[in-house]
Structure 1
Amino acid sequence: MKLSGLLAVFFLLCIQWSGFGISHPKPACRYPPSQWCRSLEIAIECRVQKQCMEVNATRPNQAVPPVSVTLYYESLCPDCREFITQQLFPTWTMLQDIMAVTLVPYGNAKVHPNSPFTCQHGEPECRGNMIEACILHLTEQSLAFHIIYCMESSADVLSAAQPCLQLYAPSVPWSRVDSCVKGDLGYQLMHANALMTRALNPAHTHVPWITFSGFPTQQSVGVKPPACTGASVRLDRSFC
């Protein structure tokens, strides 16, 4: 499966939703911007009734479940790191109200009878995969994504793990992650990721491997919201 860049991901998500609009009116009134659409009277006074109507009309339909995006990746794969830091995380930051991301650190790793795992980029990658799996297990999902983004955007992914955890989840001591990595829990999490990866149909051929609502496809049905009227741009990509 070949993907476009950030704009392609943005386009795929947008065509499955009919919400998400942004306006930037600058009226002079006695109410702060957060209150402009609180009532019709305030909207009229602040001269933003048109913008408030547009916001209400394009707000995501909360009855519709968010688009599910699952990334199968490796912690030290250069192309996975680029995809996470330059495409997936920025897109999620903009569209997290309509986008649910699941991260599966395993990728092209393999399980062998005489050793727990071997990884495409060596033992450090196996450790990185397990650290990120433990972080995903021990922290709230959005915090875990911030931590993993922090790690993957650093010069040294493994060395960044502890300070990134402290930055975004200071209530979670590093000792819990370290115990997870060194104990049975870490291996159980990696086996679960292995099963998820091997269950892909069609099977993955490279990483990063991305599925939308369970399907590795760019085909989608829906009406594009106003925020998604731009044309998609195809970018050259490489894979691990």
Structure 2
Amino acid sequence: MASSSSTKLVFFACCLLLFTLSDNLVAGESDKVQLNLYYESLCPGCQEFIVDYLVDFFDTDLDTITNVTLVPFGNAKLYDNLTITCQHGEEECELNKVEACVINTIPDPKLQYSLIRCIENDTKNWDSCFNGNKDDIAIGDCYTSDLSTKLILEYAKQTLSLNPKKEYVPWVTLNGTPLYEKINDLVAEVCKAYKGKAPLPKQCNSSALGKRKVWSKLQVSYANEAIHY
């Protein structure tokens, strides 16, 4: 009996240790830095940001301290009758819907981002990113139904209720605070913003940050023009 009890205690202690180690390696959801990207599908700066900037958060261990949320509405205009017009025309409105359906259908952030990155990398041939699997069919069903419009209207509400208001796209916030020109060194800003207990990812080491390319010019689009800063 004593031997059995001892075995159970040792097993329990091992489980507790594993749980504690796991908890220390990955930040809890409430501890993670919340990175929101407000964008539109055919904005050149948004495309560059998604393809070249955001990849750091999905191809490295930065995802252990960061939640990334994509909001595809951008500089579109919403009228009282719920009509939406997009800065780059109807094609952009349709692609915004496609990407809204991707976000709604695929729960895994890395798979979600991978598909949106594929679309943004070649918006002329975006349909080549789909191969007819189960998720693709669900995304198509979403796109052709009223759900896609409902999703975009929700993204419109989120974008238009920002405080402070969005000035251009891509518009990036960390824990609700706009980055403005600090967007050019996004990884460093995320590392600085993280206040959780989990160890910082290796990408946050000073040596790693020192080797990173800091983007000097990211094109941003206002409602009626595009500029560089």
* Residue 211 of structure 1: aligned partner: 173
Give, in whole Å, the separation in 1 of the partners of 2:103 and 2:39: 14
Letter in 2 for 1:171: K
User: After alignment, is 223-232 or 178-187 more displaced?
Assistant: 223-232
The 1:155/1:200 distance shift into structure 2, 3 A limit, reads: closer
| Aligned counterparts of 1:214 and 1:114: Cα–Cα separation in 2 | 29
Corresponding residue of 1:186: 148
Greater alpha carbon shift after TM alignment, 61-70 vs 139-148? 61-70
- Look up the match of 1:236: 217
What's the secondary structure of 1:96's corresponding residue? helix
Q: Which segment is superposed worse, 85-94 or 127-136?
A: 85-94
- Figure out how many residues of one structure are paired with residues of the other and give that number: 177
Q: Kindly provide the amino acid, as one letter, of the partner of residue 146 in structure 2.
A: D
Q: Compute the displacement of 1:105 (Å).
A: 0.3
Distance 1:228 1:117, change over 3 A: same
The residue correspondences of 1:147-166 to structure 2 (distance < 5 A) are 147-154=115-122, 156=124, 159-161=125-127, 163-166=128-131
Question: What is the identity, as a one-letter code, of the residue corresponding to 1:89?
Answer: V
1:145 is matched with: 113
Q: Which runs of 5+ in 1 are unaligned?
A: 1-55
Is 1:107 matched with 2:74? yes
Tell me, in whole angstroms, the C-alpha distance in 1 between the residues paired with 2:76 and 2:33: 27
Partners of 1:222 and 1:171 lie apart in 2 by: 36
Alpha-carbon distance between aligned partners in 2 of 1:149 and 1:101, rounded to the nearest angstrom: 13
> Which amino acid counterpart does residue 120 of structure 2 have in structure 1?
E
CA distance, structure 1, for counterparts of residue 215 and residue 40 of structure 2: 23
Residue by residue over 1:191-222, the C-alpha shift from the partner in whole angstroms, topping out at 9 and shown as x without a partner, is 10000001111100100000111211457556
CA shift at 1:114, angstroms? 5.7
TM-score for both structures, normalised by structure 2: 0.68
2:36 is the alignment partner of 1:70: yes
Closer/same/farther in 2, CA of residues 129 and 234 from structure 1, 3 Å limit: closer
Contact 1:92 1:99 in 2 (8 A): no
Residue deviations 1:64-105 (CA, integer Å, cap 9, x gap): 622111100000111100011111123332112221110000
Query: How far apart are the structure 2 equivalents of 1:187 and 1:154?
Result: 23
SS in 2 for 1:172: helix
Considering Cα pairs closer than 8 Å and 6+ residues apart, tell me whether 1 or 2 has the greater RCO.
Answer: 1
TM-score (norm 1): 0.65
Cα RMSD (Å) of the superposition? 2.6
Cα distance in 2 between the residues matched to 1:100 and 1:222: 11
- Structure 1 residue matching 2:164: 3-state secondary structure: coil
Q: Per the alignment, do residues 134 and 155 of structure 1 end up closer, same or farther by CA in structure 2, a change over 3 Å counting?
A: closer
Q: Which moved more, 1:219-228 or 1:87-96?
A: 219-228
Distance 1:207 1:81 in 2: 10
